């Protein structure tokens, strides 16, 4: 059985005066880079040129031309960048019929993911060509979320406004 996770604000966010998480622009590159996280001199290595009229970008990375397509996160959803921790969500407590405090144990411990930031779109990159609508990442955001909503009977924002 896969691990269960719960989101929690980062410790630095909860102690600082910031009211909202930082916003990021994630990129899915068609290559493997053996590094996760920020790079201090990113501008030296990564300077995409954006074409606002069709939400595409062009960049060169290690001598190869990349073309990118901006994919928006659907309304009602939020992209989250999170870091796994070893902390476990405390079990919930309830009061039974005899007014006694009873701990409710989940079937499996729920691990905590610390929220580092959020995003509203993802840039999906391809070699030389803009990723097509059938690209696995594009499809995952645009098609599979709607499919899951349909399967689980969740009404989308568009359906709610048209049926009212």
Per-residue pLDDT of the chain (164 residues; tens, 9 = 90+): 577 788 888 776 555 544 456 899 999 999 888 887 777 777 787 889 998 888 899 999 888 999 999 999 988 888 999 998 988 888 665 666 666 666 665 567 888 999 999 999 999 999 999 999 899 999 988 888 888 888 887 665 555 555 55
Those residues whose C-beta lies under 8 Å from the C-beta of residue 3, and which sit 6 or more positions away, are 108, 111
Element (H, E) at 51: strand 49-51
pLDDT (0 to 100) of residue 144: 81
**Phi/psi of residue 28, each to 5°?**
-110, 110
Q: What is the pLDDT of residue 109?
A: 81
Cβ-in-10-Å burial (0-12, 13-18, 19+) of 125 comes to: buried
Q: Give the model's pLDDT for residue 1.
A: 59
The domains located in the chain, with CATH, are: 4-163 (2.40.128.680)
Distance from C-alpha of 124 to C-alpha of 104, rounded to nearest angstrom:
42
| pLDDT at residue 15, rounded to an integer | 52
């Amino acid at each position: 059985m896969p691990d269960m996770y719960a989101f929690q604000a980062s410790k630095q966010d909860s102690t600082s005066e910031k009211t909202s998480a930082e916003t990021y622009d994630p990129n899915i590159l068609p290559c493997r880079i053996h590094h996760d996280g920020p790079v201090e001199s990113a501008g030296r290595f990564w300077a995409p040129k954006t074409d606002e009229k069709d939400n595409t970008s062009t960049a060169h990375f290690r001598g190869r031309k990349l073309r990118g397509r901006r994919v928006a996160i659907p309304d009602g959803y939020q992209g989250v960048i999170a870091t796994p921790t070893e902390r476990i969500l405390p079990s919930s407590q309830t009061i039974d019929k005899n007014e006694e405090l009873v701990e409710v144990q989940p079937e499996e411990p729920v691990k905590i993911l610390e929220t580092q930031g959020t995003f509203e779109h993802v840039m999906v990159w391809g070699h030389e060509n803009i990723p097509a609508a059938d690209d696995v990442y594009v499809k995952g955001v645009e098609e599979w979320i709607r499919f899951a909503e349909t399967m689980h009977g969740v009404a989308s924002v568009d359906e709610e406004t048209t049926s009212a």
